[in-house]
Structure 1
Amino acid sequence: MYKGQLFNSEIIQVLSKMGHTDQIAIGDAGLPIASDTPRIDLAVTYGVPSFIQVFQTVSKDMQIEKVILAEEIIKRNCEMHKLILEQIKKLEQVQNSSIETIYVSHEKLKLQTRHCKAVIRTGECSPFANVILQSGVIF
């Protein structure tokens, strides 16, 4: 039996096929997902699972070199923004490398999800709880 933290086979499959600079998104329940972008729908009901639960779990099984956030999260969802930054700091320590964090408009973030290998939909119902993770290399 697979003994990693992540059990969702669709997410594991996407992560295992990702190469350097490939991207995957984790979004709240309202993030629009293009019909030609693979959707991994984890949403069960309001808040289940939460964005931060999914982000923490997925990020532990992925080498991340860059995180893309909507600039609107800074003022419109400051608590979530704080939790994301805390997780990034933890990952930097585990990975022993820095993670670039960039901010773009929410509109640009939504457009960028079209280039992601997949978008994971959570049950999160708070504004701008979306992130794009760019894959790094482990060597």
Structure 2
Amino acid sequence: MLKNIPSIISPELLKVLMEMGHGDELVIGDGNFPAASMNDRVIRLDGHGVPEIFEAILKLFPLDIYSDNAFLMEKVPGDKVETPIWKEYETLGKQGDPNFKGFHFIERYAFYERAKKAYAIVATGETALYANILIKKGVVV
């Protein structure tokens, strides 16, 4: 057990966060995200939602100050699904890191391609649709 590390951060996730370097990207995928087919490095946090995981990660993970650092999967054109979780993400991002620049949107298949190149994917039990986040790591100053 360690002090000041949120209990939702598993040993495997902590190791991955430590291994990542400046510019590496991490995906936090909702329960529908095809994590296992996208990336060989998948950390499972089933039973937890994206907001609580995102909030915990931001306590340890510096966002990149030199480029856009947070992204969401864009809704498919014509999809009428509501995405109230995005507002929650915005609040958590602002509270969690002063370098948070707001979310930018990535088209669904482009998001998948980026996830394939990400350092790792955190697979969650999140039930909200379009609840996938991609964040870019910065440096500790």
Name the TM-score class by shorter chain: 0.7 to 0.9
Q: What stretches of structure 2 of length at least 5 have no aligned partner?
A: none
| Identity value in percent | 23
1:5 maps to 6
1:86 maps to 91
Contact 1:5 1:61 in 2 (8 A): no
Contact 2:39 2:121 in 1 (8 A): no
> What displacement does 1:56 show?
0.9
Q: What stretches of structure 1 of length at least 5 have no aligned partner?
A: none
Which is helix-richer, 1 or 2? Answer: 1
Q: Structure 1 stretches (4+) deviating beyond 4 angstroms?
A: none
Equivalents in 1 of 2:51, 2:122: separation in Å? 12
1:60 maps to 59
Q: Which moved more, 1:29-38 or 1:108-117?
A: 29-38
1:103 maps to 105
Q: What one-letter code is carried by the residue in structure 2 that aligns with 1:116?
A: A
2:114 maps to 112
CA deviation profile, 1:11-43 (whole Å, cap 9, x unmatched): 100110111100111011110123642111111
> What displacement does 1:87 show?
0.8
CA RMSD of aligned residues (A): 1.9
> What displacement does 1:92 show?
3.4
Q: What one-letter code is carried by the residue in structure 2 that aligns with 1:17?
A: E
TM-score of the superposition, structure 2-length normalised?
Answer: 0.83
* Aligned residue-pair number: 131
